Amino acid sequence: MENIYFKEEDIKLEKDYIELFNKFIKDYKNQNHVKLKDIYSDLEINCQIIYRWKLKIMSTQSKNYTKQKFIKNVGDLFNLNSSQLEEIANRAGFSFINKLSGEEFSYYFNSILDKYKNDKFKKNKDLYEEALISKEMFYHIKAGRHLRKESLLALFIVMELDLENIQLALSKSGYILSKSLINDFIIILMLKSEKLHKLRGFKRLEVINEELFNRDLPTLGTREKAEISMNNIGKKSLGIPRGS
């Protein structure tokens, strides 16, 4: 089916964080005359993990702490300033500069709920069900705990935040939509589309998830609920009634 939200030639990814990391390594080796294995040792990482990250460059779901710790270690070892550190974090889909503590994010998120929840979402249940979020995950987010990028994005999209406000809200949780990650970049292009703005609530999330699903990319929402939704999309494309 033809994509009406963006053109394929619009997908022009920036260099990923591994490429940027390799550039810092090269400069550091030349300046300090050290071996690569010693650099990895100082960073508390090994080349096999770097290789796995390179193969799954878009992933921010697994071992978030390990990846964020690695980026911070890169900043310390290579003596990066805050802007340089934020650049490499952004390319990995993270943000350090605006990140709030759990308690601070809880207050911030609840203020967003008060501002953007409209008459359609009179109850929290109405919102988290449309966002394909489990009740448990929703209340974790409200409390500032166990923040997952895919779950936060689903909520912000259903609440109809624009791209600028989604980026700001994500950064408060330690994430960001990155132009170096294919799944993030697809979402950015979709959110920029005037045609998407004509859709309301869940329909926005549905068409974004359908685009991600068709490209074999991770969908948004709590994993189990998103998978059920994608199964229904797959059945719809085959003409099979939902719930069959």
- pLDDT for 42: 92
- pLDDT for 231: 62
The verdict on 78 and 108 lying in the same domain is no
The verdict on 87 and 109 lying in the same domain is no
Helix, coil or strand: residue 48: helix
The verdict on 66 and 154 lying in the same domain is no
Full-model pTM: 0.85
The verdict on 77 and 130 lying in the same domain is no
The verdict on 111 and 61 lying in the same domain is no
The verdict on 111 and 47 lying in the same domain is no
- pLDDT for 243: 46
- pLDDT for 146: 87
Compute φ and ψ for 106, nearest 5 degrees.
-55, -45
Residue 145 DSSP label: -
CA distance 26 to 42: 15
Residue 65 DSSP label: H
pLDDT digit string, tens, across residues 75-112 = 999 999 999 999 999 999 999 999 999 999 999 999 99
| Domain, as residue range, for 151 | 102-237
pLDDT digit string, tens, across residues 32-88 = 999 989 999 999 988 888 888 888 776 554 456 688 899 999 999 999 999 999 999
Residue 98 DSSP label: T
Q: Across the chain, what does the average pLDDT equal?
A: 86
Indicate whether 60 belongs to any domain.
yes
Indicate whether 36 belongs to any domain.
yes
The verdict on 168 and 120 lying in the same domain is yes
Helix 182-192 with 202-214: angle, nearest 10 deg: 140
Helix, coil or strand: residue 94: strand
Q: Calculate the alpha carbon distances from 173 to 95, 211, 216 in Å.
A: 8, 25, 26
The verdict on 187 and 125 lying in the same domain is yes
Cross-strand pairs, 94 = 175
Nearest one of 187, 237, 229 to 208, comparing CA atoms: 187
- pLDDT for 84: 93
CA distance 119 to 109: 18
The total domain count for the chain is 2
Res. 208 pLDDT band, cuts 50 70 90: very high
Indicate whether 97 belongs to any domain.
no
Buried b (16+ CB within 10 A) or exposed e, 144-169: beebbbbbbbbbbbbbbbeeeebbbb
Q: Identify the weakest region by mean pLDDT among 47-61, 87-101, 120-134, 186-200.
A: 47-61
Can you count the helices (H) and strands (E) in the chain? Answer: 14, 0
DSSP conformation letters of 150-206: HHHHHHHHHTT--HHHHHHHHHHHTB---TTSHHHHHHHHHHH-HHHHTS-THHHHH
Single out the residue in 91, 125, 157 at which a domain terminates. Answer: 91
pLDDT at residue 241 is higher than 80: no
- pLDDT for 244: 42
pLDDT digit string, tens, across residues 146-159 = 899 999 999 999 99
Q: What percent of the chain has pLDDT over 70?
A: 86
Nearest one of 64, 91, 86 to 75, comparing CA atoms: 86
The verdict on 157 and 227 lying in the same domain is yes
